[in-house]
Amino acid sequence: MTLDSAFRTTEEHDLLRETVRALADDKIAPRAGEIDETGEFPWDVHQALVQSDLHAPHIPESYGGAGADALATVIVIEEVARACASSSLIPAVNKLGTVPLLLSGSEELKAKYLTPVAAGEGMFSYGLSEPEAGSDAAAMRTRAVRDGDHYVLNGVKRWITNAGVSRFYTVMAVTDPDQGARGISAFVVEEGDEGFSVGALEKKLGIKGSPTRELYFDDCRIPADRMIGAEGTGFKTALATLDHTRVTIAAQALGIAQGALDHATGYVKERKQFGRPIADFQGLQFMLADMAMKLAAARQLTYAAAARSERAMNGAADPELTFMSSAAKCFASDTAMEVTTDAVQLLGGYGYTRDFPLERMMRDAKITQIYEGTNQIQRVVMARQLLK
């Protein structure tokens, strides 16, 4: 296996970073603590992102989107996450929910659903996991039974990010229980569909401004033309989607880690003990150096995976995308957990309080090691790719 997936940032990428960072510093960072405290979805941040066309930058121009490439989308998510991890899930989850359409949807389905998302008229969530089907997603039990020109869905989806605030949902359901993973199909469900409802808010450690709820399907009837791709191809689409969107979780982890490093660096230059700034002490310098080194490595891996993702979305076969996306997600999220933990340590008692954002960043970082496949599962995926 070769790992030489070259990427190249352009002047446009650099300008985009400056634009997003300015917006994040002005509109998002001042709200991050309050968003975490209240646990309310930040509609004002959503509106600010919509106004700047940063809420779903990956959607092609043909559907009214910005047409950002995968690396540009990574930069958007990274810079928003540097200020507020919850807010970064607006562009990240919009991509997660819509990539199945981009990969497998009919032209009619794409036009119908990508256009309102690009216009900021609705967000798109993704329903794969279930109470008894987490890492073993193929064990799902949600059923979709054909009834004339409709499908009738029954079942439960769990851990659905932005559930209740999203207008649209990509949902995986079993259409042929005798076919195993090949009997799973993908559908678009709308918030107002009869028989569809969402559960109570999960009480979480972090990303509190992004609601997580269950989805309930109780004889939920949807038109048959809302199937994404052919019947029985849903699980294949789900896995292909994750190859692209694990890169966005890596981007979120990068942003959280960068925000923590920035705050910790500023603090140690100002904080004095024993008559001088604590930044003068070699032990703390080594901690900062290790944090920055790991973050730089994670960024290079993530950007390289994004380059592969972009080529694959444009139709170029890339057998190493699965390895690279899993490696980026795994390494970047492990790095984010290490960097935020060390950042809290550098601030000492202050890092443990809500007077500084480090404890929030540390809590937010943890989820990046868990969702879109735990890091244990990422290592399984990577090993299988190596041993093929």
CA dist list (Å): 93 to 96, 142, 252, 300:
5, 21, 11, 23
Instruction: Work out the number of other CB atoms within 10 angstroms of the CB of residue 231.
Output: 18
> Which of 78, 79, 310, 372 is an active site residue?
372
372 tagged catalytic: yes
Buried b (16+ CB within 10 A) or exposed e, 249-271: bbbbbbbbbbbbbebbeebbeee
- Would you state the structure tokens that stand for residue 100, as one six-digit string? 């199945």
Cβ atoms of 388 and 320 closer than 8 Å: no
Q: Smallest Cα–Cα separation from 302: which of 264, 335, 262?
A: 335
Taken in order 161, 164, 168, 169, is the CA torsion positive or negative? positive
DSSP assignment of 72-84 equals HHHHHHHHHHHH-
HSE-CB for 315 with a 13 A CA cutoff: 0
Cβ atoms of 216 and 256 closer than 8 Å: no
Q: Smallest Cα–Cα separation from 263: which of 288, 280, 286?
A: 288
SS3 per-residue string spanning 172-218: EEECCHHHHHHHEEEEEEECCCCCEEECCCCCCCCCCCCCEEEEEEE
Helix (H, G, I), strand (E, B) or coil at 325: helix
Q: Smallest Cα–Cα separation from 72: which of 118, 19, 27?
A: 19
**CA 240, CA 243: separation in Å to the nearest integer?**
5
Question: Would you please indicate which residues are annotated as catalytic (active-site) residues?
Answer: 372
